[in-house]
Amino acid sequence: MSEDTAASPYALDIGRVMAALPHRYPMLLIDRVEALHLDRSITAIKAVTINEGFFQGHFPGRPIMPGVLIVEAMAQAAGVLAVESLGLAGSGKLVYFMAIDGAKFRKPVEPGVLLTLEVEFVQKRSSVCKFAGRALINGALAAEASFTAMIADPPTA
């Protein structure tokens, strides 16, 4: 791959997202990747629908996506970024959430929106990576956080 090609963003459909992450319904919170810049950043989309199970209890009459799931969606986008950038697809390695710092929630995330998840590497190593993430609705900041993840083998049975 040439240097120009490596720097160019590319998109991933749901099949490729599922190949990068072990998550499945109802915990898969990434629907597609609009732009992935290897070793730099990712822009992913979560379509937030009223059919999501958590809306039954959070909150009846005023459905709002739980903040922890917004952060989880950012972490999953970071997982795709790490797996693709480090060439780990098909390796069996998992990306484990280790720490969350400075999480701030600015705007409620309600059913019917497309939540844009922007995540970038802050530090990239072979086993531990740091990220900065933002969740946006129509360009308006809904949430932000810094977080750390570890790349490791899955637990043994």
Residues annotated as catalytic are 58
Partnered with residue 10 across adjacent β-strands are: 36
What's the burial of 48, exposed, middle or buried (CB within 10 Å: 0-12/13-18/19+)? buried
Neighbouring-strand partners of residue 12: 33
Q: Is 39 left (phi over 0), alpha (psi -120 to 50) or beta?
A: left
Burial of 76 (0-12, 13-18, 19+ CB in 10 A): buried
What phi, psi does 82 have (nearest 5°)?
-65, -45
